[in-house]
Amino acid sequence: MAYRRIKEQAYKWIFTILAFSSLFFLVGIVIVLFKEGTPIFQKIGFLKFIFGRKWYPTYNPPDFGILPLILGSLWVTVGASLVCIPLGVGSALYLNEIAGFKQRQFLKPVIELLASIPSVVYGFFGLVVVTPFLQRLFNLPTGMTALNASLILGLMATPTVCSIAEDALSYVPHSFREASFAVGADRWQTLTRVVIPAAGSGISTGIILGMSRAIGETMTVLMVAGGAAVIPGTFLEPVRPMTAAIAAEMGEAPMGGSHYHALFAIALILFLITFVFNIIAEIVSRRFRIKLGLNG
Amino acid sequence: MKKDVVQKLGFSLIFLCILTTVFFLGTIIYFIFVKGAPIISWDFLTKVPRNAMTEGGVAPIIAGTFYLTLGAMIFSVPLGLACAIYICEYSPKSFIVNIIRISINNLAGVPSVVFGLFGLAVFVNFLGFGVSILSGSLTLGILALPLIISASQEALVAVPHSIREASLSLGASKWETIKRIVLPAALPGILTGVILSVGRVAGETAPILFTAAAFYKRGYPKNIFNEAMALPYHIYALMTEGAHPDKQKAVAYGCSLVLLLLVLFISGFAIILRQRQRSSYAQ
């Protein structure tokens, strides 16, 4: 009997330790980013790093200003949202409101399947198809531009936005719709004035997570954004988002040097941005669940 | 009458949205199939590359992706499953569980390139594994961890409480109940989650950029401390490195199709499996 009790305790402890070790990884990531990233802040100053307008890490003396990279990320993320919000939310509305049962049974898994296409395949498509197309269309020196990256990232994020928005719409109770029909509203009025407001915060969660995916996406922007670390003037110019700078330069940055630390500092800032996005998504989605009386 | 017009317009707009989405995503897949299909042959899948990556096959590259994915799963499945069991079965519902849950959610949202840097700093440099299959697998494993945990959690929660209580009332201990009753019932759901994360991990590039991947390596990797070529990284490298861009592009089409088929097949399998399970729960 004693043996059995000891065994039970042992299993409990094993699972506790293993569970906490995964917590340890998140903490580990934060520690590593701070440890390897902060030296650059001490060296050139935090504000100078964030708002510096020149990114010439390999010059002598080097310039470590990441404003062009931050703006690059911002541009492609905003551009991507312009693509993925209408397409993703629109598709979700179609699936939930218009599609018949059979159509939905087919389209929902297909959209989920599309979300699993690796980013490098999107990047490859952008490089071999969209790049020459944009170059000819706008008569540009290069087709690898912020516009290209925005289009591809937007398409990539669309299935994510669509899946989450569709889930949110399906949680809206049928009684809401029936009440609206009962007072004489048609399907469109019910959709825009009852269903969408009721599912609003759930849809927002999808949008936030889609944008978070776009801002952290690496391979596509590395391949199609063009890579010029200058402050972008229009969507038809090449940009170098933060993720692309890390991926492109880490291979050449000597370990422990300023450039190495600067790239970790960019990763730290990127981590903090996505962290904030995720926390907002969490708060919004919890509010949504409480509002519709789902389990908190 | 105006009401009808607005409704028609609105619904057409929505229809246009899904049409555009399906059209463009369909175009991408169609394009890769059409351009990649002529490249793929039995030799392409089973031979080693020749002439600076421009001829021969990509077998060692497929093998590299297989090893990296397998390594990631060996690391993340036991750990993730244990974490889910702790959260669902052992933990007191408390503050700490909330912290673990929020951490896992956030871990899932961390950009993949950040995992790559973590792997570089910890596995490659600090622990001294070097650029190797081991470092790459561990990095990919951490990336897969939150996916496995949340899928397992979902599967464990779906097991009805009454079954657990029945087992406990027959005198089984907590661990015996978990091992003999809960885990077998949750197994299909857990497996689906694992398969889905295999699809995700196999296609990831950014985490292995600095931890495992090499563009050119002679032959197959020999042990876990070797660098490896991997399909996703290979596509990127073929398009950005090397001396024969045109010939390399053809190989890149082939690699893209292989990767696409692999991932779509794995994920599609998991999605179908899950739909089967859901409908069986409903009965």
Domain count, chain B: 1
SS3 A239: strand
Kindly report, residue by residue over A256-281, the tens digit of the pLDDT.
888 999 999 999 999 999 989 888 88
Range of the domain at B257: 42-282
Asked if residue B85 is part of any domain, the answer here is yes
CB contact under 8 A, B86 and A19: yes
Determine contact, residues B192/B270, Cβ cutoff 8 Å. Answer: yes
Report the alpha-carbon distance of residue B206 to residue A154 in Å, rounded: 19
Q: CA of B250 to nearest chain A CA: how many angstroms apart?
A: 11
CATH number at B97 reads 1.10.3720.10
CB contact under 8 A, B32 and A29: no
Q: CA of A186 to nearest chain B CA: how many angstroms apart?
A: 8
Smallest Cα–Cα separation from A128: which of B216, B44, B250?
A: B250
End-to-end CA distance of chain A: 40
- Any B CB within 8 A of A16 CB: yes
Kindly report, residue by residue over B76-94, the tens digit of the pLDDT.
999 999 999 988 888 777 7
- Any B CB within 8 A of A13 CB: no
Which domains, and CATH codes, for chain A?
55-291 (1.10.3720.10)
Kindly list the residues from chain A whose CB atom is less than 8 angstroms away from the CB atom of residue B21. Answer: 87-88, 90-91, 111, 155, 158-159, 162
Determine contact, residues B220/B60, Cβ cutoff 8 Å. Answer: yes
Asked if residue B27 is part of any domain, the answer here is no
Kindly report, residue by residue over B241-282, the tens digit of the pLDDT.
877 888 888 889 999 999 999 999 999 999 888 888 776 654
Asked if residue B12 is part of any domain, the answer here is no
Asked if residue B11 is part of any domain, the answer here is no
Entry pTM: 0.90
Residue of B nearest to A114 (CA): B25
CB contact under 8 A, B121 and A32: yes
Backbone Cα Rg of chain A: 23
Asked if residue B203 is part of any domain, the answer here is yes
Report the alpha-carbon distance of residue B71 to residue A185 in Å, rounded: 57
pLDDT tens over chain B, length 283 residues: 577 888 889 999 999 999 999 898 899 999 999 999 998 888 888 887 876 667 777 888 999 999 999 999 999 999 999 999 988 888 777 777 788 778 888 888 889 999 999 999 999 999 999 889 999 999 999 999 999 998 999 899 888 889 999 999 998 888 899 999 999 999 988 998 999 999 999 999 999 998 988 777 777 888 888 888 899 999 999 888 877 888 888 889 999 999 999 999 999 999 888 888 776 654 4
Report the alpha-carbon distance of residue A49 to residue A65 in Å, rounded: 5
Mutate to test the interface with B, among A85, A113, A272, A286 (most CBs of B within 10 A): A113
CB contact under 8 A, B79 and A155: no
Report the alpha-carbon distance of residue B124 to residue A249 in Å, rounded: 17
CB contact under 8 A, B203 and A216: no
Asked if residue B135 is part of any domain, the answer here is yes
CB contact under 8 A, A91 and B17: yes
- Any B CB within 8 A of A193 CB: no
- pLDDT computed for residue B104 by the predictor: 82
CB contact under 8 A, A19 and B87: yes
CB contact under 8 A, A22 and B85: no
Q: CA of B127 to nearest chain A CA: how many angstroms apart?
A: 13
CA distances for B78 relative to A265, B148, B159, B259, angstroms: 32, 9, 20, 26
- pLDDT computed for residue B283 by the predictor: 42
Q: Which residues of chain A have pLDDT under 50?
A: 296
Pairs of residues, one from chain A and one from chain B, whose beta carbons lie less than 8 Å apart: 254
Asked if residue B1 is part of any domain, the answer here is no
Asked if residue B78 is part of any domain, the answer here is yes
Mutate to test the interface with A, among B3, B18, B83, B94 (most CBs of A within 10 A): B18
Provide the phi-psi class of A234: left if phi over 0, else alpha when psi is between -120 and 50, else beta. Answer: beta
CA angle, B178 as apex, B175 and B138 as ends, to 5°?
95
- pLDDT computed for residue A296 by the predictor: 42
